[in-house]
Amino acid sequence: MLGFAPMIRTSLRAFFFFVLASSGVALAQTHPGEDALVREVVADTGQDATQLTKLLDGAQYKQSIIDAISRPAESKPWSAYRPIFVNPARIEGGIDFYRGNRALLERIGAEYHVPPQYLVAILGVETSYGQITGHYRVLDALATLAFYYPPRADYFRGELKTLLELPPSKLAGPVATLQGSYAGAQGWGQFMPSSIRDFAVDEDGDGHIDLNGSLPDILGSVANYFEQHGWQAGAPVAMAVTADAGADALAEYAGQPPTMPVEQFVAAGYTPQSAIGVGTPASLLALDGDTGREYWLTFNNFYVITRYNKSPRYAMAVTQLADAIVRGVAAEDAQATAAAAR
């Protein structure tokens, strides 16, 4: 009978925890609001309250996380933001990644109707093609922001709750071992727990989603995210425009889907640098570039990129990196064809 003693003690601790929590008695907790979160996860999933409490008790507050989220790169002007992500190293890295994984990229691109260069560019901007996936424990990051960062505590509490409720088949390892960004994003594509839950896919069919070690899962998940958010195959993303000297002042991009037909921008004095179909909904985006104000028309697919990260600077960096990568791949293909013909 001695072998049953530990099991009985664990069950009794969980029972007493449940009774006290249900009765409203205040419990000692390592983090403010921890007990309420545990009760919710237990109610939703039936997990063991004692084990959840132990897991959260082990989450560490990190001041460096608060510091990092208080100074995001997206707060920089475009002239300073662009060189971080659209530079020769990232472009060459993207071209190499595309060429090294071309068959997989083009298969997944065709399956989800998303051009491969945008999948590559997301990985380039997010993690420099898997080289910088984050050095924080995801548990520490989400607990710090959920319990100690009031401006966005509700959002990160929801992400922490989702993390605790995800099945093991959707995670790269045990919760306590997961590594990621200061915001709790994981893998090459930097998926938050709710994105893992809703959009991550088991592209390689092994019964497990691995956003760190499986390129099919990584690329398929990014592609599925885009497709599920309304990516339109063959449609434009963004286009530079020239503002006439007397161009009307128009409402600029405000994080909403485009609604104004492109011809209204033309009539207001904004001339597209390429042809675009009449009636195509667009938004006007102004950026502070190296030589002054830049004006762009952005379309539905640009808005889809901002569902990955709401910053229009982020979406423009992805767009320009994708364009540079596909041009580089095409140039290398042309060189190879010419060399073979000689």
Q: Flag whether pLDDT at 330 surpasses 60.
A: yes
Q: Flag whether pLDDT at 25 surpasses 80.
A: no
What would the mean pLDDT of 98-124 be, rounded to a whole number?
98
Judge residue 153's burial from the number of C-beta atoms within 10 Å of its C-beta, 0-12 exposed, 13-18 middle, 19 or more buried: middle
Reduced to 3 states, what is the DSSP secondary structure of residue 212? coil
pTM given for the model: 0.89
Do residues 109 and 115 lie in contact, with contact meaning Cβ atoms separated by under 8 Å?
A: yes
pLDDT band at 28; cut points 50, 70, 90: low
Can you say whether the dihedral through the CA atoms of 230, 236, 237, 238 is positive or negative? negative
* Cα 309 to Cα 298: distance, rounded to the nearest angstrom: 15
* Cα 263 to Cα 286: distance, rounded to the nearest angstrom: 18
Half-sphere exposure of 223 (CA within 13 A, CB side): 26
Under the phi-then-psi rule, with left for phi > 0, alpha for psi from -120 to 50, and beta for the rest, what region is 263?
alpha
Instruction: Check residue 17 and give its pLDDT.
Output: 43
Amino acid residing at 102: R
Instruction: Check residue 29 and give its pLDDT.
Output: 84
CA end-to-end span of the chain: 84
Instruction: Check residue 3 and give its pLDDT.
Output: 43
* Cα 306 to Cα 225: distance, rounded to the nearest angstrom: 12
Do residues 138 and 178 lie in contact, with contact meaning Cβ atoms separated by under 8 Å?
A: yes
Instruction: Check residue 75 and give its pLDDT.
Output: 78
Q: What is the pLDDT of residues 191-238, one digit of tens each?
A: 999 999 999 999 999 999 999 999 999 999 999 999 999 999 999 999
Annotated catalytic residues are 126
Instruction: Check residue 153 and give its pLDDT.
Output: 97
Task: Give the angle subtended at the CA of 288 by the CAs of 287 and 291, to the nearest 5°.
Answer: 120
Instruction: Check residue 194 and give its pLDDT.
Output: 98
Tokens describing residue 297 = 């028309």
Instruction: Check residue 5 and give its pLDDT.
Output: 40
Q: Flag whether pLDDT at 164 surpasses 60.
A: yes
Instruction: Check residue 243 and give its pLDDT.
Output: 93
Q: How many helices (H) and strands (E) are present in the chain, helices listed first?
A: 15, 7
Instruction: Check residue 22 and give its pLDDT.
Output: 45
What would the mean pLDDT of 115-121 be, rounded to a whole number?
98
What would the mean pLDDT of 103-123 be, rounded to a whole number?
98
pLDDT band at 10; cut points 50, 70, 90: very low
Q: What is the pLDDT of residues 228-249, one digit of tens each?
A: 999 999 999 999 999 998 899 8
